[in-house]
Amino acid sequence: MAKLEASEKSTDPDLIKLVDEQEVKDPETVKPQQVEQDGSDLLDVKVQKYLRGEGANLEVLRDKKLKSQLVFREKLYGQSAKAAVKHEQWLMPSEEGFLEPEGFEKTWRITQQSLLNEVDVNSSRKAFDMILPELGPYTMKYTSNGRYLVLGGRKGHLGLIDMLSFDLVKEFQVRETVRDVEFLHTEEFFSVAQKKNLYIYNRHGTEVHCLKEHGTPLRLQFLDKHFLLASLNTFGQLHYQDVTTGEIVANYRTGLGRTDVMRVNPYNSIIGVGHSCGKLTMWKPTSVKPLITMFCNPGPVTAIAFHNNGHLMATAGMDRNIKLWDIRKFEVLHTNFGHASTLDFSQKGLLAVGNRTHVHVWRDYSGNQKYGRYMTHEMVKGYQVNKVAFRPYEDVLGIGHSMGISSILIPGSGEPNFDSWVANPYETKKQRREKEVHSLLDKLPPETIMLEPKEIGTVKQPKQKEKKSKQEMEEEMEAAVGMAKGIKLKKKTKGRNKPSKRAKKKEKEVLKAKRPFVEQLLKEEQPFKKQRTMAEAEAELPVALQRFARKTAA
Amino acid sequence: MKVKVISRSTEDFTRERSQDLHKVFRNYDPNLRTQEKAIEYTRALNAAKLEKIFARPFIGAMDGHIDAVSCMAKNPNHLKGIFSGSMDGDIRLWDIATRRTTCQFSGHEGPVRGLTVSTDGNVLVSCGNDCSVKLWKVPSSFEFSDTVEDAEPLANYVWKYAFRAVDHQWASNIFATGGAQVDIWDHNRSNPVNSYEWGTATIVSLRFNAGEPDVLATSASDRSITIYDLRMSSPARKVIMKTKTNALSWNPMEPMNFTAANEDCNCYTYDARKLDEAKCVHQDHVSAVMDIDYSPTGREFVTGSYDRTVRIFRYNGGHSREIYHTKRMQRVFCVKYSCDGTYVISGSDDTNLRLWKANASEQLGVLLPREVKKQEYLDAVKNRYKHLPEVKRIVRHRHLPKPIYKAAALRRTMVEAERKKEERRRAHSAPGSTSSQPFRKRRIIQEIE
């Protein structure tokens, strides 16, 4: 409670100051102005979110036409950002969830049972425990709109559940090891990493493809904008396969041994792989070498997760540290003590940490990525947590564990308002088909995966050629002369081998080596020299003859 | 403790009845749309490709004349009517929608050289090499019939010289003809009401300004462009260029500006008040430009050339935005932009009129509002990423007939050689002794007032 209040105050100290000052003057007359001020400040902060960065500096432009065009463009951007803020203020249908303790309560002491007593019936249905004792431990995956869930039991149990109506769409057994499950672009297809191969099933449980090129996959990720299915196999090889054409786009050796820690960064579709040597590598399908190799934890990396906004990454290692990284600077922001076998960031930035029988949820209270305890959950009867995953657009955390799957309520974790054109949980069959076609039309080529995706369409700054200083040039010249002097001359026939001739030849070689440097130096000095000579020539002439001095071009 | 979790009832987010529209909810949060620039770029690229695929500008040919089409006139009152005159003295009125002749005006004994229609669309004026000006009544009904009407002239005025051009003044009974001199006629008078002469050259083209109805521009075979004001007794001003101007057209939205189609393959946009320098030079044709016509929007104009192509230029663009050609189209003698700005009509040596879309990839017919919106979005995205090499390459590419491709390459070499020579000359002459003129001035010999 105390912490919460403090954080609220710390967010807008200006506002408090403003209120104090105005109360001293005359509270009644000033009140509307204060409200307005407050509103405009808030508005400015929110507009920043929609402006997507600073506008270009137009003052330096000399082209008036271009400048006016760009000014107009910037104005449009500003208007649209303001319109978006107003839309956010007035037209959003749902509000964010929250959990506020009262008195001496602590949020992390609040149990699911007490939460369920407080929330409405509709929400209380979302928390459940599904006990599947025989074929576990279970892994799971939600679709991007949060409507469907696919679950995979280690011993071959696969199921597809509609989470809106709690219908079991399909359940079947493959009777071999299932290591990971992953949805493709819609709930129509899901891929499964099985004992030997990677399989793709449709929603009716029909095997659509068996992809043998991937080897024995341990972990799967799907890049939905690029339609690439990425897999990491037992040899530590990373495969990218285009699921629209079936083409293997890339196949790279990570070279750091077997691992099953792989996560895609939703911000730029770069894949992060954690290795047993404590390194984390980041991959894109168009480069053989990893883009980034960073040493995260001494000892094996056990889990990684990426924040939606692309700034934040969490890694956990066997060294009992959970680190939060700023992946713009590749710096550790905070290190927290603890084990984690699985990590996940929610849409609103909550971090779920799963380890053995506990699930902790951390929250960034202050807005500076300093995560603190928010909620905890203990699995009953010692069920071992295998995977945690936040359900998109809901305040729900899904947990796959050794005895089935569970779902708990985490208020404030999900984005309350969905966009029908991005991910619609209430999508009909027709809408899904329409969206499929459009997303195929907008399929991104693999080359668009890069560390900073905003760089597409921007101008590459030409590299400034570094000018060598005079001293450096002279040093280089001396080195070249030394080389020339060191050349051993061949023995020539009689008459040509005279010492004088040899000396002459050597001198020639030295001159030849010197020449480019001397020319360069001359070239740099020349323009000044020429001007000087002109002026000098004019000055040297007698006054009477100065009018005949050569005129410079008008 | 206070607690709230997201709880949506399905009824609030789905439609009630199957007849209802689906509910749409928007959230413009940038975090929900990652990699939006990459997506926009892909859309721009796809839009550019689709535009290329759908670029089918040729709609059809209007066949009927038995000699080359020499001149055309559009009917200001009927969108789908166009008049064409041919070298054998035949004048036809075409229905563009069915691409058939609806009326034939026969009477000229030599080539018809000029056609124009009065602003009310009732009277057609034609002139030709047979020294006669004929006035015709335009049939008012545009009903389709299999039979071709044959019209008789309302009046036939015979004069002293062969006519080369005619144009009608806006909203009056007055028209002007050009030949050995410029004559101003009234519908009801058999002799010219006024005549202008400046030098002895033959007038080859003549256009009234629609915005300033008393202003008239002509071009003559002595390479001059002359501006007349009917309120004055003598011509106002004249500019002489290095080559002849074949046709000119006033910009309907900027009444002081006109564009001249020149024999030297270029078009020159002039400000009529300042003739010592062209405002813009439009180059791309590889042979003499024969005719020019502005779009009613004033943002574009179409040109027809002796190199067998039709090009569309932006009013301020140095190069054409579009080129149209077919294997069968011969020398183009006349072009017109339709009154709604969506079609282009060309008349050529092969006796045909050809109908083209002004925007090659535009979808014809009525569009749904959401189709229009989609198109606007794609255009905006394309515009945003037009600088990227891949998009630029696709948008700029046009297939050219081989002779034109070769001629263009040759022209480029020639221009480049000339430029290099000039550069060298300047480099080797005393500073200040040579002067270079911008291309906008280089083709102008002098301005006379």
3-state secondary structure A517-535: HHHHHHHHHHHHHHHHHHH
Q: Which one of A268, A416, A426 has the shortest CB-CB distance to B35? A: A268
Percent pLDDT > 90 in chain A is: 61
Q: Which one of A88, A225, A419 has the shortest CB-CB distance to B25? A: A419
Q: Is A394 in Cβ contact with B26 (below 8 Å)? A: no
The candidate with the shortest Cα–Cα distance to B258, out of B288, B233, B235, B228, is: B228
Q: Which CATH superfamily is domain B60-359 in?
A: YVTN repeat-like/Quinoprotein amine dehydrogenase (2.130.10.10)
Contact of A279 with A295, CB cutoff 8 Å? yes
Q: Is B42 in Cβ contact with A99 (below 8 Å)? A: no
What mean pLDDT do residues B395-412 have? Answer: 95
Paired tokens of A352: 């779920």
- Residue bearing tokens 């004088």: A500
3-state secondary structure of A509: helix
Q: Tell me: the pLDDT tens digits for A53-89?
A: 888 888 899 999 899 999 999 999 999 999 999 999 8
Residues B93, B101: Cα–Cα separation, whole Å: 6
Rounded to the nearest angstrom, the minimum Cα separation between A396 and chain B is 9
Query: At B324, phi and psi to the nearest 5?
Result: -120, 135
Q: Is B34 in Cβ contact with A308 (below 8 Å)? A: yes
Q: Is B41 in Cβ contact with A97 (below 8 Å)? A: no
* B4 vs A contacts (CB less than 8 Å): 95, 97-98, 119, 411
A504 Ramachandran zone, left/alpha/beta (phi>0; psi -120 to 50): alpha
Residue B408 binned pLDDT confidence (cut-offs 50, 70, 90): very high
Q: Which one of A94, A100, A309 has the shortest CB-CB distance to B6? A: A94
From the number of C-beta atoms within 10 Å of its C-beta (0-12, 13-18, 19+), residue A533 rates as exposed
Q: Tell me: the pLDDT tens digits for A43-61?
A: 788 888 898 888 888 889 9
Q: Which one of B5, B23, B37 has the shortest CB-CB distance to A456? A: B37
Residues A417, A81: Cα–Cα separation, whole Å: 18
For A109, the closest chain B residue by CA position comes to B1
* DSSP at B23: P
* A347 vs B contacts (CB less than 8 Å): 31
Q: Which one of A105, A120, A441 has the shortest CB-CB distance to B7? A: A120
The H or E element that residue A481 is part of is helix A470-486
Rounded to the nearest angstrom, the minimum Cα separation between B366 and chain A is 23
Contact of A243 with A227, CB cutoff 8 Å? yes
Residues A344, A347: Cα–Cα separation, whole Å: 10
The candidate with the shortest Cα–Cα distance to A211, out of A236, A188, A245, is: A245
Peptide bond into A392 cis (omega under 30): no
Contact of A269 with A225, CB cutoff 8 Å? yes
* A426 vs B contacts (CB less than 8 Å): 10, 13-14
ipTM: 0.79
Query: At B369, phi and psi to the nearest 5?
Result: -55, -35
- Chain A, chain B: beta-carbon pairs less than 8 Å apart: 151
From the number of C-beta atoms within 10 Å of its C-beta (0-12, 13-18, 19+), residue B384 rates as middle
Peptide bond into A137 cis (omega under 30): yes
Extract the runs of DSSP E, i.e. beta strands, from A102-177. Answer: 128-131, 138-142, 148-153, 157-162, 167-173
Count of CB atoms situated within 10 Å of the CB of A298? 11
* A111 vs B contacts (CB less than 8 Å): none
Q: Which CATH number fits domain A109-444: 3.90.1150.10, 2.130.10.10, 3.40.50.300, 2.60.40.180?
A: 2.130.10.10
Dihedral, A44, A49, A54, A56 alpha carbons, nearest 10: -100
The candidate with the shortest Cα–Cα distance to B167, out of B216, B236, B238, is: B216
Q: Domain extents for chain B?
A: 35-59+369-395, 60-359
Q: Which one of A110, A409, A421 has the shortest CB-CB distance to B5? A: A409
**Which one of B13, B35, B45 would you mutate to disrupt binding with A, by most A Cβ within 10 Å of its Cβ?**
B35
Q: Is B32 in Cβ contact with A97 (below 8 Å)? A: no
Q: Is B1 in Cβ contact with A101 (below 8 Å)? A: yes
The candidate with the shortest Cα–Cα distance to B29, out of A393, A38, A370, is: A393
Paired tokens of B287: 């042979």
Q: What is the pLDDT along chain A (554 residues), one digit of tens a residue?
A: 333 333 333 333 343 333 333 333 444 443 444 444 555 677 788 888 898 888 888 889 999 989 999 999 999 999 999 999 999 989 888 899 999 998 888 999 999 999 999 899 989 999 999 999 999 899 999 999 999 999 999 999 999 999 999 999 999 999 999 999 999 999 999 999 999 999 999 999 999 999 999 999 999 999 999 999 999 999 999 999 999 999 999 999 999 999 999 999 999 999 999 999 999 999 999 999 999 999 998 989 999 999 998 889 999 999 999 999 999 999 999 999 999 999 999 999 999 999 989 999 999 988 888 888 999 999 988 899 999 999 999 999 999 999 999 999 999 999 999 999 999 999 999 999 999 999 999 999 999 999 999 888 888 777 777 777 788 888 888 998 888 888 888 888 888 888 888 889 889 999 998 888 888 888 877 665 555 566 666 667 787 877 777 665 44
Measure CA A270 to chain center. 7
* A92 vs B contacts (CB less than 8 Å): 27
Q: Is A98 in Cβ contact with B4 (below 8 Å)? A: yes
Q: Tell me: the pLDDT tens digits for B234-292?
A: 888 999 999 999 999 999 999 999 999 999 999 999 999 999 999 999 999 999 999 99
Q: Tell me: the pLDDT tens digits for A258-280?
A: 999 999 999 999 999 999 999 99
Q: Is B2 in Cβ contact with A98 (below 8 Å)? A: yes
Rounded to the nearest angstrom, the minimum Cα separation between A144 and chain B is 11
Residue B27 binned pLDDT confidence (cut-offs 50, 70, 90): very high
Q: Which one of A50, A97, A441 has the shortest CB-CB distance to B5? A: A97
Residues B59, B359: Cα–Cα separation, whole Å: 12
Residues B107, B152: Cα–Cα separation, whole Å: 8
Paired tokens of B123: 């009277």
Q: Is A99 in Cβ contact with B1 (below 8 Å)? A: yes
**Which one of B3, B14, B29 would you mutate to disrupt binding with A, by most A Cβ within 10 Å of its Cβ?**
B3
Q: Is B385 in Cβ contact with A448 (below 8 Å)? A: no
Q: Domain extents for chain A?
A: 14-90, 109-444, 470-548
